[in-house]
Amino acid sequence: MNTEKYQEKLANAPKVRISSIVIIIALTLIVFVSVATTELPEPQSEASINAANNVVRGILHPSADKLLSFGVDGVPYLILETMAIALLGTLLGSIFAIVPAILGASNFNSKMQVRIVRLCLNIIRTVPPIIYGLMFIRVTGPGPFAGVMTFSLTSIGMVAKLYIEALEELDGGILEALDSVGASYWQKVAMGIIPQIRPNFISTAIYRYEINVKDAAVLGLVSAGGLGTEIILAQSEGRWNDLGAYILGLVILVFIVEHVSTRIRTSLVSG
Amino acid sequence: MKQSTLTLPNGKSITKPKSKTPMILSVLFILIVISSIITEADIAVLFTKADKFWSMIGDMILPPDFSYLDDIIPELIATLRMSVVGTFFGAIFGFPVAFLAAKNINSNEIVRFIVKACLSLTRTMPVLIYAMILTFFFGIGEFAGLLAITIFTFSIITKMAFEDLETLDMGAFEAAISQGSTRIKSTILTIFPQMMRTYITYTLYCFEINVRSAAILGYVGAGGIGYTLNQMIQLRQYDKAGMILIAIMVTVIAIDSLSQFTRRRLA
């Protein structure tokens, strides 16, 4: 008796779209060709296998000396330095990002302008941080300040994008309500806009801080300060136990920052 | 600071909670001062030497060495291939592990805890450090980078996927169980169709991230275009470096839009 109803339901069930099938086939082809053309590494000579074993042994036995020393090349100071670089970089970046965010929010700008601003932000985002690092080193010389400037630039791209999303979600009703009670322009900004976007902006900045701490390892490659620089030095000089200590320091740092940041952001969002 | 107190008609008085903002701001200020000392921040340098930054950009793009493009296309393809294969295997390995970590599918709390702990440990290491260590094992070249990308993809896709799994509607699964089908069969029949699209979307999203990071893996000798880019900058051949950068930029933007288009189609 119910068969007809079921058949009708079946007929209305979502059909597999042709475009999905085409996409899946294309993806499979790309993957297949890529896997087929990848060359496997040649077997390593005995000497290099021994070397690799030494590296692993070193990493698994981090030098207690470096882990506990409070000197400039000790892990505690480097952690502090990495955090300081990320903090200043994030702060500068999140402040700089406000201008492009206001210029690029589609609810109070022309479409053309929004497009241009977004294209610029996109270009800033696609250049790998390391390249900015190399450029800034020419300005400030090698050292942590080059790292700060790099992060302030790389942060702008992402932070501004998230700011724009927050601005576009502004509740216009509140502004109309303020208009209706005769609020001035700045009163509207202070009472209607800032309280709405503040949790979002702060949460974005904290999130970016987390990313910057992780990226600090990348920046070290171009000797822009922090744990990364020492990691690269230890690697090129073959001090494997020190390398282990620095990597351990990085893991601990990232782990803690990630947890604290997630906790703060959750409490910000839930009020 | 004066606190405003309000007395309600029923005699109760309410005190407005003290704002934490001044305290947070002052702590932040102290942290900024300490950070500036540690990083030897010198804002004045930015004004006196900023021209060096712009002149380097100028050397790169005015004009870039277009003839060099032919030489870098093979490397660009190698970079892409590395990301495709790495993302693919990361996604394949991540799939079963996501099931192990999801609360509504795996009821064994101990296994779940261990899996999650391992995942968050794997996530803490940047791709570049993985690549650096892997080059000791597999030599300089694409393969080390590929493995680094696999590990990275695995670690983040598993997290995204198990969080997605935990929000799934289990009604269909329970219905299948109640009809007498085995747990494995019901999972394949009811859970897979629900999560497949999202999983592919996540994979594409990882792929976008991976293309960006693959471009710099060459720095530690793990293959791809980053190696040449580094060399050109060291040799101060900025016009060639600029060409490589532009090529990376175009590729990344193209991949992003393609992948976003696909994701929208699949969603």
**CB–CB contact A20 B266 (8 Å):** yes
Question: What's the pLDDT band for A15 if we cut at 50, 70, 90?
Answer: low
Q: Which residues of A touch B257 (CB under 8 A)?
A: none
Overall average pLDDT of the A235-263 stretch? 88
pLDDT band for position B161 (cuts 50, 70, 90): very high
Which pLDDT band holds residue A16 (cuts at 50, 70, 90)? low
Q: Is A267 near chain B, with CB under 8 Å?
A: no
Cβ-based neighbours of A216, under 8 Å, separated by 6 or more: A82, A85, A86, A147, A226, A227, A228
**What per-residue string of b and e applies to A234-271 under the rule 16 or more CB within 10 Å gives b?**
bbeeebbbbbbbbbbbbeebbeebbeebeeebeeeeee
A245 vs A248: CA distance, rounded Å: 5
Residue window 148-187, chain B: list those with CB within 8 Å of chain A: none
State how far the Cα of A256 lies from the Cα of A123, in Å rounded to an integer.
Answer: 32
Token pair belonging to A93:
């970046």
Cis peptide before B74 (omega within 30 of 0): no
Whether the per-residue pLDDT at A267 is higher than 90: the answer is no
Quick check: A194 contacting B, CB < 8 Å?
Answer: no
pLDDT top residue among A64 and B166 = B166
Q: Is the pLDDT of residue B2 over 60?
A: no
Token pair recorded at residue A139: 């300005």
| Mean pLDDT for the stretch of residues B122-134 | 87
Helix or strand run (H / E) with residue B223: none
B91 CB burial (10 A radius; 0-12, 13-18, 19+): buried
Distance CA A89, CA A140 (A): 14
Mean pLDDT within B43-57: 76
Question: Residue B210's pLDDT is what?
Answer: 92
Report pLDDT digits (tens) over B96-119: 999 999 888 888 889 999 999 999
C-alpha closest to that of A47 among A37, A39, A55: A55
Residues of B in contact with A83 (CB under 8 A): 35
CA distance A93 to A72: 27
Q: Which pair of structure tokens corresponds to residue B149?
A: 């990308």
Residues 6+ apart with CB under 8 A from A6: none
DSSP A2: -
Which chain A positions have a beta carbon within 8 Å of B42's beta carbon?
A: 140, 145
Backbone dihedral angles phi then psi of residue A102, each to the nearest 5 degrees: -65, -40
- CA distances to A27, B2, B12 from B7, in Å: 67, 16, 6
Q: What is the pLDDT at residue A271?
A: 59
Cβ distance B201 to B160 under 8 Å?
no
Lowest mean pLDDT among A93-102, B199-208, B236-245: B236-245
Beta strand residue intervals within A12-146, DSSP E: none
The tokens of B177 are what? 């169980």
pLDDT in tens, B179-219: 888 888 888 888 888 888 889 889 999 998 899 888 888 88
Residue A45 identity (one-letter amino acid)? S
pLDDT at B50 > cutoff 80 = no
Query: How far is Cα B249 from Cα B252, in angstroms, rounded to an integer?
Result: 5
d(CA B216, CA B169): 41
Q: Is B40 left (phi over 0), alpha (psi -120 to 50) or beta?
A: left
- Sequential DSSP letters for B32-85: HHHHHHHTT--HHHHHHHHHHHHHHHHHHHSS--GGGHHHHHHHHHHHHHHHHH
User: What's phi and psi for A28, nearest 5 deg?
Assistant: -60, -40
Distance CA B147, CA B86 (A): 6
Residue B6's pLDDT band (boundaries 50, 70, 90)?
A: confident
The pLDDT value given to residue B113: 92
Coil/strand/helix, residue A124: helix
Whether the CB of A237 is below 8 Å from some CB of chain B: the reply is no
Backbone angles phi, psi at B14, to 5 degrees: -115, 135
Band of the pLDDT at A1, cuts 50, 70, 90?
low
- Contact in structure between A213 and A225 (CB atoms under 8 Å): no
Q: Token pair 């190399």 is at which residue?
A: A134
Chain A's closest residue to B252, CA to CA, is A126
pLDDT digit string, tens, across residues A98-126? 999 988 888 877 888 889 998 888 888 88
Angle of helix A144-168 relative to helix A75-96, nearest 10 degrees, comes to 40
Q: Single out the residue of B215, B231, B72, B83 nearest to residue A128, CA to CA.
A: B215
Distance between CA atoms of residues B60 and B44, nearest Å: 25
Which candidate from A128, A143, A251 shows the least CB-CB separation from B216? Answer: A128
The pLDDT of residue A14: 67
Of A104, A133, A131, the residue nearest A117 (C-alpha): A104
Supply the pLDDT for residue B87: 94
- Kindly state the DSSP code that residue A270 receives in the 8-state scheme: T
- Give residue B3's pLDDT band: very low, low, confident or very high (50, 70, 90): low
pLDDT tens digits for A207-234?
Answer: 999 988 888 777 877 777 788 888 888 8
A18-53 per-position pLDDT tens digit: 777 888 888 889 888 888 888 777 777 777 788 788
Nearest CB to A126 within list B40, B139, B253 = B253
Please tell me which residue, B79 or B43, carries the higher pLDDT value.
B79
The pLDDT mean for chain B works out to: 86
Q: How many CB pairs under 8 A join A and B?
A: 150
Checking if the pLDDT of B1 tops 50, the result is: no
Cα(A27)–Cα(A23) distance, rounded to whole angstroms? 6
- pTM here is 0.83
Query: A87: which 2 tokens?
Result: 């903090």
CA distance B94 to chain A (A): 17
The pLDDT mean for chain A works out to 84
Put simply, the chain A residues between 9 and 28 with a CB less than 8 A from any chain B CB are: 19-20, 23, 27
Structure letter (DSSP) for residue B66: G
Helix (H) or strand (E) holding B267: none
